[in-house]
Structure 1
Amino acid sequence: FPDFISYCDYPLRINPSGPDVAKASEQWLLDGAPLSERKRKAFLGLKSGDLSAMCYPDVEADRLRVVADYMNYLFKLDDWSDEFEADEIHVMRDCVMGCLEDPVGFATEEPVGLLTKSFFSRFVKTGGPGCRQRFIDTMELFFRAVTQQALDRINDDIPDLESYIALRRDTSGCKPCFALIEYAAGIDLPDEVVNHRSIKILEDAANDLVSWSNDIFSFNVEQARGDTHNSVIIVMNEEGLDIQAAIDHVGSLCFATLNTFARVRASLPSWGPDVDADVEKYVMGLQDWIIGSLHWSFLTQRYFGKNGEEVKKTLTVALLPKKAAQQTPAPQAEVQQSEVQQEAESKSAPADGSNPVLSDAPGGLLTAIWGMFGAAFRRATFSSHRLS
């Protein structure tokens, strides 16, 4: 694997309230969406609470709890969407979006709806109106994108790189998480900041780094079970590269993205002292997401089982054998590595951070997938209606 952490010298900061909040949030999810014992162990091995503590290190405990609940919920949403047909995702979307638009008056008894109302009713008590609307809007984009991903899965379609770029920026889950940076910091950025080209570039760069690095870390598990929505797999397919060359190529895009983030951050305009202070908090939140997600990737058991610390040191894993097409994929935490080592050299960043695929235009950076834990239980329909 490329050595992103050594190249990215941002300090890892961890919220001191993290352990207590993580425990309470995990129980919240398990109470709202009961899992089998095997799935429960896989969920706890995900360590989503640690991700929240690493990416939101300064927020007070009450707000961190809302963030942690959403992070657990997001993993569960992705789990459901991986199981469902496109029309079922649409019904789930109607339930979730109804709860977000009206967390008090929208009536539903579905687990996904009750979970949505639970965390978002707490969000709206202190979240600013602009922050709230950005969260809702980006969740809508998420559902549109995962619906398309479901259609690709059903049709066994491997998207071309440009289609994948557009799709994964919304399936990554980063956009609503970035709205939570505002919520966590107690700020509500004005429209002239939110819509500024430089801010859009910074958001895209953080989104892309989180997503592309995750594609690399999750590649081994995903190639073994036949998944195709992964940048490494797409580059292999389009460019005719072997595994190592494709990983190196995606890694170079990640390094260039880090360079873009640093360059644009250093040349931000001023909106006045008060707004600039809020912008600084927001950009720091993007930085925390970049470095926090990198460290969390080796802490969670999702990608490397219990060997994360060793992989973090060696940057090398054994290539897993492909599973038979008829098999149901086991949770990654239970997958054993094969004995055939696939050596991965750490690649240094391009000297100037440039890459022909990348640009400073919003949407020009490549994005990828958040790897989530394996499928849990399936609900065929979500019934919901508004109170009269």
Structure 2
Amino acid sequence: MTETVLRFLRSACPIAPRLSPYAEPVQEWLTGQLDRLGLPPDAVARERLARAGFARYASRLHPDADEPDLRVLTALFTWFFLVDDICDGPGQPDPARIRALRDGALTLLRQGSRARHPGLTGPLRRLLVEAWREPRRRMPARWRLRFADAVAHHLDGAWREAVARTAGRPPGVDEYVKLRRATSAAYVSYPLIEFATGRPLPDAVHHHPALRRLADLGNDLLSWFNDIASLDRDRATAGGHNLVLAVAAERGVPVATAVDLVAARWRTEMGRFLALRAAVPSFGPALDESVTAHLDGVANAVRGTVDWTLESARYPAGSGG
């Protein structure tokens, strides 16, 4: 039932799909990198990770990146998916481990690869060291600070969710929507648009209310689509941390009805996303191309998540097409 809803939403999505021509060679490169680093530690898990197709995800979000940059982006995406598996895997979550991982990642991002923290060690640390090298070298200090702050926000959200799950406290809808914006890592991916395009935004533009509204809406759209896709898994493991489950509990309706309600909300917010994007003001001839590239990147994040979710072996709906 959820797969039918997901495919209907994809057909209703007005954002055009895009895919980098380097998707397949970068996926082959990633497989070799993971083997070299020993990530994950067993061969079966590495094969499962390869079938997830993280390079195709990066290729859908950043279709115009050149091949070397797409490798960097794919490595970063892979790092965050591996962290997501730690934070949101089966079994009881470990808030202390998530907090230590957060502190370790921020130590590296803010202080450089020579700084060490016990929360981030081994192959997972080496992957982030290698993936972060080029953005750290190329991007301005203000961008690096924004990226690290986004990572902190994301991992703080993962920690808050783990604490709530451990306490057996499912969230209400409004609480969940705000928390999901952190746990989705979309705010981490948005600065990478500036890396991929080579167009870092000034802080005043990045934080402009029009761009922040679009960022929130884009985050909601990709997160809610993912929630429908991961519903069966989340019913067993997430302690109510899924928009469909939160709607079902708050409104007292069957889960199947909640799926339809979330899908309807997704379509409404997609219409609002398009209207707000069209209403973004001009920032002047020196900045408008950069702003347009950023807005295109946010839209690609939404559509790319839709398409990748339906093709990736990471989700039950994934079928390779």
Q: Does the alignment reach a TM-score above 0.5?
A: yes
Deviation at 1:87, TM superposition (A): 1.5
Is 1:212–1:254's contact at 8 Å kept on the other side of the alignment? yes
Q: Distance in 2 between matches of 1:226 and 1:72?
A: 21
Deviation at 1:47, TM superposition (A): 1.0
Q: Whose helix fraction is larger, Structure 1's or Structure 2's?
A: 2
Is 2:194–2:200's contact at 8 Å kept on the other side of the alignment? yes
1:4 matches 2:9: yes
1:162 matches 2:168: no
Q: 1:106 aligns with which of 98, 115, 136?
A: 115
Among all aligned residue pairs of Structure 1 and Structure 2, give the percentage whose two residues are the same amino acid.
Answer: 27
Q: Distance in 1 between matches of 2:75 and 2:210?
A: 30
Q: 2:255 aligns with which of 243, 257, 271?
A: 243
Q: Secondary structure of 1:58's match? A: coil
Q: Distance in 1 between matches of 2:207 and 2:141?
A: 16
Partner residue in 2 for 1:304? 316
Is 1:130–1:189's contact at 8 Å kept on the other side of the alignment? no
Q: How many residues are treated as equivalent by the alignment?
A: 309
* 1:195/1:306 CA distance change after superposition, 3 Å: closer
Partner residue in 1 for 2:164? 152
Q: Distance in 2 between matches of 1:165 and 1:269?
A: 27
Is 2:168–2:239's contact at 8 Å kept on the other side of the alignment? no
CA displacement 1:51-91 (0-9 Å, x = unmatched) = 11111000111111111001111000111223652112111
Is 2:210–2:280's contact at 8 Å kept on the other side of the alignment? yes
CA displacement 1:321-358 (0-9 Å, x = unmatched) = xxxxxxxxxxxxxxxxxxxxxxxxxxxxxxxxxxxxxx
Q: Distance in 2 between matches of 1:230 and 1:251?
A: 13
Partner residue in 1 for 2:51? 45
CA displacement 1:217-256 (0-9 Å, x = unmatched) = 1112322456421110111111111122101111111112
Deviation at 1:267, TM superposition (A): 1.2
Q: 1:93 aligns with which of 102, 122, 131?
A: 102
Partner residue in 2 for 1:25? 30
Which is higher, the Rg of structure 1 or of structure 2? 1
Deviation at 1:187, TM superposition (A): 0.9
Partner residue in 2 for 1:376? none
Partner residue in 2 for 1:332? none
Q: Distance in 2 between matches of 1:203 and 1:130?
A: 19
The letter of the residue matching 1:90 is R
Partner residue in 1 for 2:74? 68
Deviation at 1:110, TM superposition (A): 3.0
Counterpart mapping for 1:127-206 below 5 A: 127-206=139-218
Is there any run of 5+ residues in structure 1 with no aligned partner, and where? 310-388
* 1:95/1:41 CA distance change after superposition, 3 Å: same
For normalisation by structure 2, the TM-score amounts to 0.91
The letter of the residue matching 1:23 is E
Deviation at 1:40, TM superposition (A): 2.0
* Higher RCO, Cα 8 Å, sep 6+: 1
CA displacement 1:161-192 (0-9 Å, x = unmatched) = 22212211011011111110111000111122
Partner residue in 2 for 1:82? 88
The letter of the residue matching 2:307 is H
Is 1:146–1:171's contact at 8 Å kept on the other side of the alignment? yes
Is 1:210–1:289's contact at 8 Å kept on the other side of the alignment? yes
Q: Distance in 2 between matches of 1:30 and 1:147?
A: 29
The letter of the residue matching 2:214 is L
Is 2:147–2:188's contact at 8 Å kept on the other side of the alignment? yes
Q: Distance in 2 between matches of 1:306 and 1:72?
A: 18
Partner residue in 1 for 2:227? 215
Question: What root-mean-square deviation, in Å, do the aligned CA atoms of Structure 1 and Structure 2 show?
Answer: 1.8
